Chain A
Amino acid sequence: GAGVSQSPRYKVAKRGRDVALRCDSISGHVTLYWYRQTLGQGSEVLTYSQSDAQRDKSGRPSGRFSAERPERSVSTLKIQRTEQGDSAVYLCASSPRQLAKNIQYFGAGTRLSVL
């Protein structure tokens, strides 16, 4: 019965290093999303996957962002060569099916600070 869980809650990284953020979604959910939330600018989707397929959302620069789904209910967002502009809260969300009416359930987010 647990909701969407994200780890770590806080991450500090040196500029240029790679980071990996984990999301454990609700069991049985099919679609996983990663959003980036910046203060005053809302949240933008980074990527999503349906079941085992990974589909990237266009718009992220230079392909430094990618997500893997090693298990059906687990997703890892990887950010390569972090930049200071990557500092944000990264939100994971999942939904039961790829149907229009289904809502998304969010985790509490990982706050990434790039120094």
Chain B
Amino acid sequence: AQTVTQSQPEMSVQEAETVTLSCTYDTSESDYYLFWYKQPPSRQMILVIRQEAYKQQNATENRFSVNFQKAAKSFSLKISDSQLGDAAMYFCAYRRLNNNAGNMLTFGGGTRLMVKP
């Protein structure tokens, strides 16, 4: 079974600074997807960024980028120029590439990011 681990329950960053959230996972699959979701307080989770495991190039979405190390099974999220609106819970998630059982996500425990003005 796949597992996803986020070792940082909480992180804080000064506004305009850069922060990196860690995520490691365990799988025997060679092809899969990795995701970072953001969940603001009392609001729904929204997708921040997605990485296909077969792509060597790290995904980037504006101020958000990932460092995908497939051999190490590591998938960290870097947030540049942090903004107050980035404060939220961040969840790392894994999904098999082709899953006839429904493409369910496996989530990590989450990291609460606080942004200091």
Contact = CB atoms under 8 A, between A and B. Distances in A.
Contact of B102 (A4, A55, A107): A55
A103 B96 CA distance: 12
Contacts of A3: 44
Contacts, number: 69
Contacts of A91: 45
B36 to A, nearest CB: 12
B72 to A, nearest CB: 20
Contacts of B96: 100
B99 interface: yes
How many B residues are at the interface, by size bracket? 20 to 34
Nearest to A48: B102
Interface residues of A, number: 31
A33 interface: yes
Nearest to B97: A100
Contacts of B99: 100
Contact of B109 (A40, A104, A109): A40
B30 interface: no
Contacts of A37: 107
Q: Name the residue in A37, A91, A99 with the highest tally of chain B Cβ atoms < 10 Å from its Cβ.
A: A37
Contacts of B107: 35, 37, 42-44
B101 interface: yes
Contact of A33 (B37, B43, B50, B102): B102
A108 interface: yes
Nearest to B92: A42
Interface of B: 4, 6, 9, 33, 35, 37, 42-47, 50, 91, 95-99, 101-110
Interface of A: 3-4, 9, 31, 33, 35, 37, 40-45, 48, 50, 55, 57, 91, 93, 95, 98-100, 102-109
